[in-house]
Amino acid sequence: DIQMTQSPSSLSASVGDRVTITCRASQFISSDLNWYQQNPGKAPKLLIYAASSLQSGVPSRFSGSGSGTVFTLTISSLQPEDFATYYCQQNYNIPRTFGQGTKVEVK
C-alpha cells in the first residue's frame, strides 16, 4: 500500500494567517493526489484534485501544488470556516489511501 504522511498533525493559526500542510507519499504517485476538508460530524468535502486543480465552488484561497511524492495544500488567508481537519488522498494505486489528517485549530 502507498502510505500517505501528513505534517503537521495539527496546527494552531489565526484568521488571516497563511497555512501550509504537507503530504508525502511513500512512493511515486505522479499528480494523482486529492485534498479534502472535514468538519466535525460531516463527510469530507473535496477541495483540490489532481494535486492542483480547484474543485468547483471552492474558494480561491485554497491551492495545491506538488507532484511525485511531495505535495502541499495552502490556505492563503485563513477564514473562520476553515478551522477543520484536512486529508490528502492518493488515487494512483489500489488501495486508495488517505493521510492521517491535519487539524487546523484556533490559536
Partner 1 sequence: QFQLQESGPGLVKPSETLSLACSVSGGSISNYYWTWIRQSPGKGLEWIGYIYYSGRTNYNPSLKSRVTISVDTSTNQFSLMLSSVTAADTAIYYCARHGRTGNYFYFDYWGQGILVTVSS
Amino acid letter for position 83: F
Q: What phi and psi, each to the nearest 5 degrees, are found at residue 81?
A: -80, -5
Number of chain positions touching partner 1 (CB under 8 A): 24
CB of 83 to partner 1, least distance (A): 19
Task: Pick one of 11, 83, 100, 103: the residue that binds partner 1 (CB under 8 A).
Answer: 100
Contact pattern from residue 40 through residue 79 relative to partner 1, giving x for each residue in contact according to CB under 8 A and a dash for the rest = --xxxxx--xx--x-x------------------------
Under the binding rule (CB under 8 A), the answer on residue 103 touching partner 1 is no
Q: How many CB atoms lie within 10 A of CB 77?
A: 12
Return the bridge partners of 10, or none: 103
Q: With respect to partner 1, which residue has the nearer C-beta, 29 or 75?
A: 29
Q: With respect to partner 1, which residue has the nearer C-beta, 105 or 107?
A: 105
Question: Can you spell out the DSSP letters for 47-64?
Answer: EEETTTEEPTT--TTEEE
**CA 35, CA 89: separation in Å to the nearest integer?**
6
**CA 71, CA 51: separation in Å to the nearest integer?**
7
Query: Could you list the residues that contact partner 1 (CB under 8 A)?
Result: 31-32, 34, 36, 42-46, 49-50, 53, 55, 87, 89, 91, 94-101
